[in-house]
Structure formats: structure tokens, C-alpha cells
Amino acid sequence: MASSFGSINTALTSLYAQRRGLDVTGQNIANANTEGYTRQRVEMQATVGSVVPVSWATTDGLGTGVAVTDVQRLRDEFLENRGRTEHGGSAYLSNQAAAYASVEDVFAEPSSTALQAQMHDMWAGWGDVGDEPSSTAARASLLQQTRVVADNLNSAYGALSAQWTANSVQIGKFADEVNTTASTVAQLNDSIVKAHATGVVVNELEDQRDVAIMHLSELTGATASRREDGSMDVYVGNAQLVTKSMSRAMASTGVTNLDAQRAYNADPLNGTASAGLTWADNGDEIQAGGTMGSMVATMTTLLPDMAQRLDDVAEALVTTVNAATSTALKSDGTAGTDLFTGDFTQGRYAKNIAVAITNPADIAVSATNETNADGTPKLDGLGNPIGTHDGSVATLLAGTGTRAGSPDMTYQDMIADLGVKAQTSTRRSEIQANVAGQVDSARQSESGVNLDEEMTNLLTYQRGYEAASRVLTTIDSMLDQLINRTGLVGR
């Protein structure tokens, strides 16, 4: 038969359960503003006595109280996986938008001090020399304006190269950060698996692990999969970064400057390796997403392409001007020379372009020399031909900027294309940020702490605790009546 003290145990189990509920609710309230914290709920289940009667133990069919079966972590695994995917995509597009914005800052178009305006001033300078070919001031001004254009091309290429180097340094630091975070996830996996095996609740450790994995998703586009033992496997691309308590290391490898990357792009079989990420254990290439994937794309595609297009502008400028000045005549009637010089091997025009002429009088702008009646060149006292100072070559060059295929048109096409791509990247980044924000809102509604709800739970558990206490008080009064007052009738 049931024990006379069974009701005491039933009330006692309720006290334990309601107190556990109060503890968990207090933990939720305390961590309402803790980043990555997931609200928790106490799972209670009614307990029953033995359902197999034996000669010395029978049951009356009533329950024996309540037990806390679990402290549940209210987090939707589907939403978490979706959040990692959307945050990885948002980090990629955000970094791409920032990269395009940095490239736009290099050229700073439109501006009165940008390359387009400087080339316009240079062509106007050629027009001034064409109008007054014998003017030393006009020639000196043209020479200065030409140097400004060459310096701007050098500076723009240097800025692109500096951005490439900055990305290379930063991605190396990010690789170290990924390795540290992956090691942390592996250690948490080990602790969580051991705790699950012993029945210990480790919700806070799982919260820390989720925060770390989300950080990996933003850096590398990582995804995660949960195992039955409670551990999480983390993947970058199709390769495992973390498996149970084991983690792999990655490293930033390949060429170390923009010129080398461009050489690789032109000839992938040249013996060098492209900038990128590889696994430290086997050297395989990593197909990363997130911020680091965007940085690899910037280093291997965006910046080399912009450098090539800038070289196209500089090459058009060098070819156009040198073709004119090298076939023209100087003011003294001697043959002209190239105005621009530099080491243009491998097409490195923008990086190395420089003005070869230092003396304004050496700028060749005449098409012919003065001739005698018989058509022979007139000579000065030293026997040198006498130039006509007609300035026709300078006048011809002055109209270069409006011609198809000119440096100006090539540059305008480059800037227009850059603007379209930058705007597109910014819009995609904004759209993806909104999508990630919506997913975060859904995640927050599922796992975030609602103080109003917690206060309701607090009152619920408090009333349950008070009621269980009242049951104990009532049973105590009944036992007192039974033990101390039985047999005292009439006294």
C-alpha cells in the first residue's frame, strides 16, 4: 500500500521543480542583454509509482509528484543555419562594396583635381602651344601639366597596389583569427560531448559555440552540422574546418604583390601561385566565402582588372603622344623624341610612365622645316635645319580627347564601368543586409529573452512554489493532529 508520507514527497518534488523554474527564469532575466544568449525553459514531467505490483509493493494508481526532465534551450536549428548562410553572404557583399568604394576613392571622379580634368588641361596646353609654338611659357605650362598627368597615373597605380597589399596583410590576420576560433569550437565540442554523456546541462557552452560559429560564417562563409552526440562539425566550402574535437588550420598563401598577381593572371603556369587561402595540412585551395572570400576576389580579380584598365589608359596616352612628337620637329628643326618614357615591359604603363623631356624647347610640335626656293631645308649658321614653328602637331594633339579610342575615352569607359559595378555591389549589399536582418529578427523572436514573458513565468513559478509549500503545511497539520491529539478526546 502507499506510504502515509507519500504526499509529503509529492509536495517536495513540486518545491524542487518550481524552485528550478525560478532559477532558470532568473538566469534568463540576468542575461536579457547578453550577446548570443539563448532563453531557456524548464521541462517538467509528472512522475508515477511502480506499475508492476509485487507482494510487498502495490500502488494506488496516483502519481508521485513532478520531476524536471530537462532545461531546454529554445533555439531553432533551421533558423541558425539560415542565419549563418545569410550572414556569410552579407559579409561577402559588404566587403565587396567597401572594396569598390575604396577603388572609387583612388580616382575621385568627378573632380577638378582628378585625372579626367588633368588630361583635359593637358590637351588644352597642347592647344596653347599650337597657337603660340614659339612661346616658352606655353611650352613650360604644357610640360608641367603633362608631368601632373603622369604623376596621377603613377599615384593611382600605387594606390591600387597599396590596397592589394593591405588586403594581403589583413587576410593573413583573419586566417590566424579563424584558426583560433576553430580551435575554440573544437574545445567546446569536447566539453559539450562529455557533459551530455554525464547528463549535465551545458546550454551556456552551446551559446558560446554558436557565437563562435557565427563569427566563422562571417569570416569564411562557414556552415555547420550538428551530430547526435551534441558536437558541431564546421565546413568551409566542401571541406571540414572542425570535426568533433579536432580543427584544421588555414593560411594565406600565394603571391605577395599586385604585379605578381597580374603576372599570374596572365600566365597561370608561370611557376607562381595565386593569392588565396590553403589548408595547412595538405596545401589544398580553400573555397571561402564571407569577408575572406571577398578579399580573395578583390586581390585576384577586382584590383588586377582595374590596374589593367588603368594601364590601357596610360598606354593609349603614351602611344598617341609619342607617335606625334617622335615624328615631329623641334623648334631648332631637329627630329623630335618621345615625350613619355618608362619601363613598359609586361604592359606596366601606369606604374612607370614618366616625362622624358625637361627642356620646354625640346617639345617637338612642328611638322616641317623652312625650305629654300628649290625645296631644300634652310640651315642656320651651324648647318642645322631651321624649323617652321608652325605648331601643327600640337594643334592636332589638342583635339585628341574627343576622338574615339583616345586616352580620355578609354578612361571614361573605365570610370563608368567602375561606377556601375560599385553601385550594383552597394545595392546587393543593402538588400542582403536587409535579408540577414529579417532572419536575425526571426532568430531573436525564437531564442531572445522577452522580459514580459519572463516576469509572467516568474509569478507562475512563485505561485506554484507557494502552493506546494501550503500542501506541506497542511500535511504537517494533519500529522500533528494524528500523532499528538489522537486519544485525547474529552480531555
Task: Please give the model's pTM, rounded to 2 decimal places.
Answer: 0.86
What pLDDT is recorded for position 1?
A: 41
Q: Rounded to whole angstroms, how far apart are CA atoms 455 and 28?
A: 10
**Phi-psi map region of 153: left, alpha, beta (phi>0 left; psi -120 to 50 alpha):** alpha
Q: What would the grid cell of residue 113 be? A: 583635381
Torsion sign over Cα 192, 76, 16, 451: positive
What pLDDT is recorded for position 156?
A: 95
CB 475 within 8 A of CB 11: yes
CB 138 within 8 A of CB 129: yes
pLDDT tens figures, 64-97? 889 898 899 988 889 999 999 999 999 999 999 9
How buried is 451 (Cβ within 10 angstroms: 0-12 exposed, 13-18 middle, 19+ buried)?
exposed
What pLDDT is recorded for position 57?
A: 59
What pLDDT is recorded for position 334?
A: 76
Mean pLDDT of each 10-residue bin along the chain, 491 residues long = 69 92 93 91 84 61 83 90 94 96 93 91 92 88 94 95 96 96 96 90 92 96 93 93 94 93 89 90 92 96 96 94 87 82 88 92 77 60 57 86 89 95 96 95 90 93 92 85 70 54
CB 190 within 8 A of CB 60: no
What pLDDT is recorded for position 183?
A: 96
Closest CA to 435 of 102, 32, 92: 92
DSSP character at residue 301? I
How many CB atoms are located within 10 Å of the residue 119 CB? 24
CB 368 within 8 A of CB 351: no
Contacts of 107 (CB under 8 A, 6+ apart): 114, 115, 156, 415, 418
What pLDDT is recorded for position 487?
A: 66
pLDDT tens figures, 316-373? 999 999 998 888 888 777 788 899 999 988 889 999 999 999 999 888 888 765 566 6
Bridge partners of 278, per DSSP, are 251, 285
Is the omega angle on the peptide bond into residue 110 within 30 degrees of 0, that is, cis?
Answer: yes
What pLDDT is recorded for position 374?
A: 62
Bridge partners of 371, per DSSP, are 377
Q: What would the grid cell of residue 426 be? A: 552597394
Q: If you write DSSP's letter for every residue of 11-72 in order, what string do you get?
A: HHHHHHHHHHHHHHHHHHHHTTT-TT---EEEEEEEEE--SS-BTTB---S-EEEEEEEEEE
CB 120 within 8 A of CB 401: yes
87-98-249 Cα angle (round to 5)? 55
